[in-house]
Amino acid sequence: MKIAPISNELFQRAQHSIPGGVNSPVRAFRAVGGNPRFMVSARGPYMFDEDGNQYIEFINSWGPMILGHAPEMVQKAVQDAIPNSLSFGAPTRKEVEIAELIISMVPSVEKVRMVNSGTEATMSAIRVARGYTGRSKIIKFEGCYHGHGDSFLIAAGSGAITLGVPDSPGVTKGVALDTLTAPYNNLEAVKTLVDANPGEIAAIILEPVAGNMGLVLPKPGFLQGLRQICDQDGIVLIFDEVMTGFRLAPGGAQELYGITPDMTTLGKIIGGGMPVGAYGGKKEIMDFVAPAGPVYQAGTLSGNPIAMSAGMAMLQHLQQNPGIYRQLEQTTTAIVSGMKANMQKLGLQYTINQVGSMFSIFFTDQPVTDFESAKTSDTALFGRYFNSMLQRGIYLAPSQYEALFVSTAITDELVAQYLKANFEALQEAQQQ
């Protein structure tokens, strides 16, 4: 792997015009050391940087590139749509068609509103839940990320019923007072919060499979328990499936686990990787959204015709080829099994979590079931491992606390190449 002088120069230059030199914090590589690589193109399983380096990559633009980069049917859909204009600010046929397609695929969605990002989707869903219930407070889970909306940037208090405090300057104490936090996978903590705030909880929002503290799976009964709590207390259950929607099954994690929320938020995959999001759910809840109802939400670029065309091509392909999910799981299981064998040969302590085509490695001997156990991972070792893999042409998420994603473009040959690099990188990181 060549060094990256052009990327280094661009990063230094970017810091004069962009805060921190990046447009999203994790890209700055601060959690792993070194400077970010600036990408110029991607196709299939590969990304290429400004210095001519090629990487086998396992970020997939944080999930949506489930078919690998630049799949032919998505490229064609975009090319066919571009001559008709890039934006109308008026309704189009594609918006109706993709809404109908999403409704047919996602169990909880009876009506859906298109937006421009996952963050916009979660912010809107919370507003609608509050408007529908007439209540103010929400419960979120430690380590679950729902975008950078004020309601979600709240740290946990010292106990299960302690009110949150702002986790970022610029988030007001007033907002924090309406956000309660609980440990992921802890039903008792949720029950305590609900009992301590009778008739005040509008919504419980969570990633049904957490992907932002590394990959953390729901314990058996956890999602079902939340469903029961919400049914008993008239609380809106929101699944944030920005990562897992159409990734773990055609109907997302809710199809995989058989638990139907009241509302669902979706993200990049419904635009084939283009900037897009959506929120949907029960008809009676979604009819509270303007102009059908009193809860205001709008967006000039919502339902952008280029993004809708890309998303239609992607979702139709996934719907028509359900065997993709079996292929993805088999490939990912081969990777994880090989990684476990490598770790055992080297005598390293580890936990690897996997579901379908998502996985995470934690350098800890503890099971990782929530944010506290995720934080027992040796992040310094992870940083060394990340950079050793990067030098071997394997591009991983530059943070311990991010899930990895496998695409259909990863072949058996690439799995073997990955596992060889994995063993060498682990050995090198262990010795440093």
Known catalytic residues?
Answer: 145, 240, 268
Instruction: Give me the residues paired with residue 167 across strands.
Output: none
Closest CA to 316 of 92, 71, 63, 42: 71
Distance CA 122, CA 150 (A): 11
Number of H helices, E strands in the chain: 14, 16
* E strand or H helix at 395: strand 394-395
At residue 268's C-alpha, the angle toward residues 267 and 273, to 5°, is: 170
CB atoms within 10 A of CB 399: 19
Please report, as a single letter, which amino acid is at residue 233.
D
Distance CA 379, CA 117 (A): 29
Location of structure tokens 């988030």: 171
Q: Tell me, what DSSP letter sits at residue 162?
A: P
- The SS3 of residue 263 is strand
CB atoms within 10 A of CB 111: 18
Closest CA to 126 of 137, 115, 117: 137
Please report, as a single letter, which amino acid is at residue 68.
G
Q: What are phi and psi of 138, to 5 degrees?
A: -130, 160
Instruction: Give me the residues paired with residue 120 across strands.
Output: none
241, 208 in Cβ contact below 8 A?
A: yes
126, 278 in Cβ contact below 8 A?
A: no
Instruction: Give me the residues paired with residue 138 across strands.
Output: 179, 203
Sorted by sequence, the CB contacts under 8 Å of residue 347 that are 6+ apart come out as: none
